[in-house]
Amino acid sequence: MSYEKLHDVRAPLTPAARGLKRRPRIDPPSPSGAARPPRATPGRRLCCRPNNSSKPPETTAANMALDFAATYKVLVLGDSNVGKTCIVHRYCDERYYDTYISTIGIDFKQKIINLDGTPIKLQIWDTAGQERFRTLTTAYYRGAMGILLMYDVTSLESFNHLSYWLRNIQENASPDVVKVLAANKCDATAHRAVDAERGQKIAENFDMPFFEVSCKENINIEEAFLTLARRIREQRGRRDEQLPLLQASLFEASEREGADSIIKAQSPSQQGDAWRCTC
């Protein structure tokens, strides 16, 4: 017998080749008498979760990360060693780091927040407070919507340098930028060098909300950032309301300039004919 014939004889025949129909498989009942769950077939995926299609999806951080209404760029400014990096990590990572490492240049973190039911992405830029990096950090003032200005309540020098930072903001940032003043390390009462009244007074002079915060004890951290975000939203709302009026005034000014240019282009005789009585 040749190899081909031997292979054909030994090859198993399928039920379809024998002309037989496949019987449906009947699973035996379970010992408890309850119905067995349906068996999964290839290409079919079973789902045991209840059908809650009518229930609206819950608003979670994962859902907000995929869809947010706006993005706010926020700068954190202040002298070196006032706690700028610490407050960013406390707010974004919800952690407190006791070790101190100076920021080189600038650092960046972002967080999705639920601002009164609206998902907002905060882009928080942690700037270096050392003088050798200040030329670099001023380039990031452009486009900033909010600034968290910080000083250390245990350092009188950092409080006295607020005038420098405010002048720097006025020269490099947008005129309508939102500012919030935060006095860090308020928990160190034994080493306090700046009273809260002095910080409140300078905040009122420059129309800034004032918070005494503590990264170590997590005091007023979230309140400071949420207040900054709300004031940014209010500022953007006022700007959107004034935009149609500004566009209308610019249109009227361009129309007047166009009419003046047409009158100036006419000859004196043509101008006299235009105002001559036709009665």
Domain contains 251: no
Range of the domain at 140: 61-235
Domain contains 120: yes
Helix (H) or strand (E) holding 8: helix 3-10
The amino acid that residue 277 corresponds to is C
Residue 188 — very low, low, confident or very high, per pLDDT cuts 50/70/90? very high
* C-alpha dihedral sign at 92, 95, 96, 101: negative
The amino acid that residue 188 corresponds to is A
Domain contains 101: yes
Mean pLDDT of 167-187: 93
> In this predicted model, what pLDDT tens digit does every residue of 104-139 receive, in sequence order?
667 889 999 999 889 999 999 988 756 555 666 677
Q: Would you state the pLDDT for residue 92?
A: 92
Residue 54 — very low, low, confident or very high, per pLDDT cuts 50/70/90? very low
Q: Would you state the pLDDT for residue 27?
A: 57
Calculate the alpha carbon distances from 16 to 11, 12, 20, 50, 179 in Å: 14, 12, 6, 39, 80
Task: Name the packing angle between helices 84-92 and 221-265 (round to 10°).
Answer: 100
User: Per the structure block, which two tokens stand in for 72?
Assistant: 């706010």
- How many domains are there within the chain? 1
Domain contains 125: yes
In whole angstroms, what is the distance from residue 39 CA to residue 60 CA?
34
Chain mean pLDDT for the chain: 76
* CATH classification of the domain holding 110: 3.40.50.300
Domain contains 249: no
> In this predicted model, what pLDDT tens digit does every residue of 8-51 receive, in sequence order?
445 555 555 555 555 556 555 555 555 555 555 555 554 444 45
Domain contains 9: no
Domain contains 182: yes
Domain contains 165: yes
